Amino acid sequence: MNIDELREHLCKEHPDLCPLFSIEFGDGVLLVDRGRLFDAAADLKELGFDRLGMVTAVDRDEEFELVYRLTSRAMSCGMFLKCRVPRENPRGRSLVPLWPAALWQEREVYDLFGIEFEGHPDLRRILLPEDWDGHPLRKDYADDRMIRRPDYI
Amino acid sequence: MSGFLGGLVFGLAGGITIALGTIMGVWAERKISGRVQMRLGPQEQGPFGLLQVPADTLKMMLKEDITPRNADARVFRFAPYVVFVPVAMGLVVIPFAVGWAPLDTSIGILFFLAVPSLSSIGMLLGGWSSRNTYATLGGMRAAAQMISYELPRTLSVLSIVLLAGSLRPLDVLDAWRVWWLPLIFVGFIVYYISSVAELNRGPFDIPEAESELVAGYFADYSGIRWGIFMMSEYGGLVAASLFGSAVFLGATRWLPGALGVIVFVLVAALIASSMIWIKWTFPRMRPDQLMRTAWKVLTPIALVQLAVVGVVVPWL
Amino acid sequence: MTMEVESRREVSGEDDLARQELVVNVGPSHPSTHGVCRVIVHVDGEVVTKAEPVIGYLHRGIEKMCENRTYLQVVPLTDRLDYVGSMYANWAYCRAVERLASIRVPERAEYLRVIVCEMQRIASHMMALGSSAADTGAASMFIYAFDERERIVELFEELCGARLTYNYVRPGGVSFDAPEGWTDRLKDFTNNHRTALSEMDRLFFGNVIARGRMKGIGVLSAEDAVSWGASGPVARGSGVNWDLRKHDSYSVYPRFDFDVPTGSNGDAYDRGRCRLFECYESCRIIEQAAAQMPEGPVKTDGLSRLISPRPGDAYDHIESARGSLGVYVVSEGGPRPYRVKFRSPAFCNLALLPMLAEGHTLSDLVVVLGSLDPVFGEVDR
């Protein structure tokens, strides 16, 4: 299924999500706000996106962008689900009830970005030791041992 | 006095024989496994790499002998001997020629079956005293396995005892007839398999299980104490194949006189080599599969073998 | 060196006998963890009641390092992710960058990429098969499998000079063209490899002990495989017919004729067998690609070393030996990526370990772990 068919299909099934859908670099992107994240994900799962491929985040200065990559086996296509959470209070909704695949991936996002997921059964650090300070993938993370490459390239 | 001197000489000779047997066992293992795996095995040290094992032994003796801080030190240090001595003792009752065994006793076969099994106590002690979870599990597995495989092994040897009507190995050798071979062939297979299991060798090496328990009950040993564990494994291999060759197959009787002794050694070498071959070919069994094989497969087969022999014996 | 965990705790069984549960700390250095993984295993006798993987021992912060390098400088870092399948990470990353910066790739380069990735699949599967055989104690099978891998590594060395970290696939093409006679040697390899594969199939998968060790162990249902995000042979062993090469086809894969082997039981045996059959299919693809490969350049001309894509983000994925390997690249304009995320299949597959190992014995734990085929460079990143 190509991207236009996907948009059509999505708009037919879920008209409320339609205005949030856009196309970037040939990929469908659904940008929802925090309150709707879980419901939108559940809708997409119903629509046929049965695999949660990736959970990650991007540090966008004053807010974090949660990025979910969903894949559909039936439609042979993938799309993004994005959600922005404020930097002061980075909390998202856990998608573990929908996809257990989020279990470790959300832990990783929590570990590296410090974004908390409500409803996650076991939110602990996963890659870094339990007593690590800070969340390294934040842009303002500072560490004495970190070497910055000079800017001249 | 002469008894004492004789004992001393005999003990030394026996010790050297065991050491040589072990060295040959290790060398054969390394050579055969090398060939199985498309390698050459040791070849630099001495002719055909024969001196590799003495060199390794020397290295092991020079290595630091470490006792872990949390280990029960006395038991930990003592355990290797508890494993090795019974295995070495098993060798003394083997009839090396018609009419000669180092120790000629009327309960020789019972001795051979019972005494080497005591080494499982040493394995349990070694595993437990290491205070290491792997070693503890390995020791437990060793004990369970040795006890289970004792049964089919004893039962299979019992058919021979029944045929010969004696527990004395030399009597068995005297009474041996060629037609025994087809009759006790199945029993020999049971003996073979349970000997491999008794020796903790692959595919039954669950107490050591390198990929699960690292090295099982001797995971924490180093230096010569580790070497003693290894030596007892090869000592057991040598003993089991010599016993199988002499008592079971009666290889000493296949050719007359000194030729018989050569045949006996060759057959024993063949048995040992095939055990090594099997180890390097097969995957390892799981503990529960191993127990099932012992109790549900080998023991009934050995019992049937015993029954068949029991039916035949009155007709002799 | 084992870390001090509460090493024994009382459990009460159904029969109300007080029993002690032993905590075995497998790893981080252990013959069967395929790298540096620590699994805290609670065993009741031999039966695993709880297995908890502790990962991160190989975490090098590669995603953070990427933010500090130019797009081209990131390529060698991707080699270090899945160190037995470097070509995949190279390619997945390059595809994402090419999508982001709209770089076109010459056709010959695409064919070379397909060839090296299929070779890499064989090499990686050989590693997986060999080490899972070694986990069950079949030491010789390990050597046979590594012998096959060695031949591929030699061909790679001839192609790009490296044996492990190839840095071969670059944005806009590949670094070197195939040397003279390389495709002929490739053909020799695939011919010999088929014989070796059937030999290994009989030696290991035909062995009664190996069957007993692997059949019915670590059963993963198809539904679980999908919802847990499993991919690659782990999902296909459960009967999930999902291969990106076929079902979300990329590059020149639609031009080749190949099948996707799937299992039916979802146990360790089916997963291993899937890997073996995939090697046959890879041989087919390699032969077709080598025959169809057009002449021409292998790099895009006039591509600046300082690739500076327009702001935006792109995701692309390929089917690696372990499953769908995705790369998410975010650009804010400049010559460095703003954020790079590697969606590693091994990470997602490893998350299944607690579920699959529970209720089996300690000996099965290593079989299950081996059948998931994690590579810790990729899990920890």
**Is C210 in CB contact (< 8 Å) with chain B?**
yes
The answer to whether the CB atoms of A67 and C59 lie below 8 A apart is no
Q: How many Å apart are CA B115 and CA B123, to the nearest integer?
A: 14
Q: Report CA-CA distances (Å) from B13 to B20, B233, B268.
A: 10, 20, 20
Q: How many Å apart are CA B195 and CA B279, to the nearest integer?
A: 13
**Touch B-C: 3+ C-beta pairs under 8 A:** yes
- pLDDT tops 50 at residue C7: no
Q: What's the N-to-C CA distance of chain B in angstroms?
A: 46
Give the model's pLDDT for residue C4.
Answer: 43
Give the model's pLDDT for residue C2.
Answer: 40
**Is C85 in CB contact (< 8 Å) with chain A?**
no
Domains and CATH numbers, chain C: 62-380 (1.10.645.10)
Residues forming beta bridges with residue A82, ordered by sequence position: A31, A67
What share of chain C has pLDDT > 70, as a percent?
A: 95
Residues whose CB is less than 8 angstroms from the CB of residue B178 and which lie 6 or more positions away in sequence, other chains included: none
- Tell me chain A's radius of gyration from C-alpha atoms: 17
Q: How many Å apart are CA B59 and CA A1, to the nearest integer?
A: 68
Q: What is the mean pLDDT of residues B275-286?
A: 87
Domain that holds residue B89: 2-315
Q: How many CB pairs under 8 A join B and C?
A: 90
What kind and span of H or E run contains A59?
A: strand A51-60
pLDDT (tens digit per residue) in A37-66: 888 888 888 888 888 888 888 888 888 888
With vertex at residue A18, the alpha carbon angle to CA A15 and CA A24, rounded to the nearest 5 degrees, is 165
Which residues in chain A have their CB less than 8 angstroms from residue C229's CB? 51-53, 99, 101, 105
Q: How many Å apart are CA C366 and CA C250, to the nearest integer?
A: 35
- pLDDT tops 70 at residue A88: yes
**Is A56 in CB contact (< 8 Å) with chain C?**
yes
Contact C341, C328 (CB under 8 A): yes
The answer to whether the CB atoms of C328 and A105 lie below 8 A apart is no
Distance from CA of C368 to the nearest CA of A (A): 18
Contact B214, C26 (CB under 8 A): no
The answer to whether the CB atoms of C32 and B39 lie below 8 A apart is no
The answer to whether the CB atoms of C22 and B134 lie below 8 A apart is no
Q: Report CA-CA distances (Å) from C272 to B184, B250, C84, C222, C223.
A: 40, 45, 17, 16, 20
- pLDDT tops 70 at residue B2: no
Joined together, the tokens standing for residue A131 give 């007593």
Q: What is the mean pLDDT of residues C212-227?
A: 87
Which residues in chain A have their CB less than 8 angstroms from residue C341's CB? 54, 56, 67
The answer to whether the CB atoms of B282 and C138 lie below 8 A apart is yes
Contact C83, C76 (CB under 8 A): no
Helices (H), chain A: 3-13, 37-47, 102-113
Tell me the one-letter amino acid at C157. E
Which residues in chain B have their CB less than 8 angstroms from residue C210's CB? 283
Q: What is the mean pLDDT of residues A17-45?
A: 80
Helix (H, G, I), strand (E, B) or coil at C317: strand
Distance from CA of C73 to the nearest CA of A (A): 10
Q: Which of residues 192-211 of B touch C (CB under 8 A)?
A: 202-203, 205-206, 209-211
**Is A136 in CB contact (< 8 Å) with chain C?**
yes
Q: What is the mean pLDDT of residues C322-329?
A: 89
The answer to whether the CB atoms of B214 and C366 lie below 8 A apart is no
Residues whose CB is less than 8 angstroms from the CB of residue B135 and which lie 6 or more positions away in sequence, other chains included: B126, B127, B128, B213, B216, B217, B218, B219, B220
- pLDDT tops 70 at residue B215: yes
Total domains, chain B? 1
Which residues in chain A have their CB less than 8 angstroms from residue C335's CB? 153
The answer to whether the CB atoms of B137 and C138 lie below 8 A apart is no
**Subunits touching C (CB < 8 Å, at least 3 pairs)?**
A, B
**Is C243 in CB contact (< 8 Å) with chain B?**
no
Which residues in chain C have their CB less than 8 angstroms from residue A41's CB? none
What confidence tier does B97 reach under pLDDT thresholds 50, 70, 90?
A: confident
With vertex at residue A146, the alpha carbon angle to CA A143 and CA A151, rounded to the nearest 5 degrees, is 120
* CA closest to C59 among chain A residues: A127
Residues whose CB is less than 8 angstroms from the CB of residue A47 and which lie 6 or more positions away in sequence, other chains included: A9, A10, A13, A14, A72
Looking at residue C81, what DSSP letter applies? Answer: T
Tell me the one-letter amino acid at B170. L
Q: Report CA-CA distances (Å) from B71 to A133, B81, C8, C43.
A: 37, 17, 17, 22
Contact C343, C326 (CB under 8 A): yes
Give the model's pLDDT for residue A35.
Answer: 81
Residues forming beta bridges with residue C312, ordered by sequence position: C331
The answer to whether the CB atoms of A26 and C99 lie below 8 A apart is yes
Looking at residue A150, what DSSP letter applies? Answer: P
Question: Among B137, B280, B289, whose Cβ lies nearest the Cβ of C140?
Answer: B280
**Is C59 in CB contact (< 8 Å) with chain B?**
no
Tell me the one-letter amino acid at C15. D
3-state helix, strand, coil in chain C (%, to 5): 50, 15, 35
- pLDDT tops 60 at residue B293: yes
Helix (H, G, I), strand (E, B) or coil at B235: helix
Of A51, A60, A14, nearest in space to A36 by CA:
A14
Joined together, the tokens standing for residue C5 give 């965990």
Of B99, C206, C67, C347, nearest in space to A136 by CA:
C67
Q: What is the mean pLDDT of residues B219-239?
A: 84
Contact C23, C5 (CB under 8 A): yes
Give the model's pLDDT for residue C122.
Answer: 92
* CA closest to B134 among chain C residues: C24
Q: What is the mean pLDDT of residues B254-268?
A: 84
Q: How many Å apart are CA C165 and CA C79, to the nearest integer?
A: 5
Q: What is the mean pLDDT of residues B311-316?
A: 78
Of residues C3 and A118, more confidently modeled: A118
Joined together, the tokens standing for residue C74 give 């990131």
**Touch A-B: 3+ C-beta pairs under 8 A:** no
Question: Among A25, A99, A128, whose Cβ lies nearest the Cβ of C312?
Answer: A25
What confidence tier does C1 reach under pLDDT thresholds 50, 70, 90?
A: very low
The single residue listed with the structure tokens 């299909």 is A9
The answer to whether the CB atoms of B38 and C144 lie below 8 A apart is yes
Q: How many Å apart are CA B61 and CA C50, to the nearest integer?
A: 41
With vertex at residue B250, the alpha carbon angle to CA B247 and CA B255, rounded to the nearest 5 degrees, is 150
Contact C253, C270 (CB under 8 A): no
**Subunits touching B (CB < 8 Å, at least 3 pairs)?**
C
b/e sequence C340-352, b meaning 16+ C-beta within 10 Å: bbbbbbbbbbbbb
Contact B54, B227 (CB under 8 A): no
Q: How many Å apart are CA B82 and CA B100, to the nearest integer?
A: 28
Q: What's the N-to-C CA distance of chain A in angstroms?
A: 42
Q: How many Å apart are CA B30 and CA B39, to the nearest integer?
A: 10
- pLDDT tops 50 at residue B145: yes
- pLDDT tops 60 at residue A93: yes
Distance from CA of C368 to the nearest CA of B (A): 12
Give the model's pLDDT for residue C5.
Answer: 44
The answer to whether the CB atoms of C46 and B288 lie below 8 A apart is yes
**Subunits touching A (CB < 8 Å, at least 3 pairs)?**
C
Contact B140, B127 (CB under 8 A): yes
Q: Which of residues 332-361 of C touch A (CB under 8 A)?
A: 335, 338-339, 341, 343, 347-348, 350-351
**Is A34 in CB contact (< 8 Å) with chain C?**
no
The answer to whether the CB atoms of B286 and C365 lie below 8 A apart is no
The answer to whether the CB atoms of C209 and B285 lie below 8 A apart is yes
Task: Report residue A64: phi and psi, to 5°.
Answer: -105, 140
How far does CA A120 lie from the centroid of its chain?
A: 14
pLDDT (tens digit per residue) in C136-148: 888 888 888 988 8
Residue C223 burial by Cβ neighbours in a 10 Å radius (0-12, 13-18, 19+): exposed
- Picking from C328, C336, C372 by the largest number of A CB atoms within 10 A of its own CB, the best residue to mutate is C328
Which residues in chain A have their CB less than 8 angstroms from residue C324's CB? 53, 71
Of C167, C166, C140, nearest in space to C153 by CA:
C166
| C102 CB neighbour count, 10 Å cutoff | 9
Of residues B189 and A149, more confidently modeled: B189
* CA closest to C140 among chain B residues: B37
The single residue listed with the structure tokens 């060196």 is C1
Residues whose CB is less than 8 angstroms from the CB of residue B95 and which lie 6 or more positions away in sequence, other chains included: B101, B108, B169, B170, B172, B173, B246, B247, B252
Residues whose CB is less than 8 angstroms from the CB of residue C171 and which lie 6 or more positions away in sequence, other chains included: C71, C72, C75, C94, C97, C98, C101, C103, C303, C307
**Is B44 in CB contact (< 8 Å) with chain C?**
no
3-state helix, strand, coil in chain A (%, to 5): 25, 30, 45
Helix (H, G, I), strand (E, B) or coil at B134: helix
Contact B104, B168 (CB under 8 A): yes
Of B163, B153, B215, B223, nearest in space to B188 by CA:
B153
Q: How many Å apart are CA C95 and CA C107, to the nearest integer?
A: 14
**Is C254 in CB contact (< 8 Å) with chain A?**
no
With vertex at residue C121, the alpha carbon angle to CA C120 and CA C123, rounded to the nearest 5 degrees, is 60
Contact B198, B150 (CB under 8 A): yes
Which residues in chain C have their CB less than 8 angstroms from residue B38's CB? 143-144, 147
- pLDDT tops 60 at residue B108: yes
Of B156, B150, B160, B310, nearest in space to B250 by CA:
B160
Mean confidence (pLDDT) of chain A: 82
Give the model's pLDDT for residue C8.
Answer: 47
Q: ipTM for the complex?
A: 0.86
Domains and CATH numbers, chain A: 3-90 (3.30.460.80)
With vertex at residue A144, the alpha carbon angle to CA A140 and CA A149, rounded to the nearest 5 degrees, is 70
pLDDT (tens digit per residue) in B234-248: 888 888 888 888 888
The single residue listed with the structure tokens 């040791």 is B42
The single residue listed with the structure tokens 């190992």 is C357
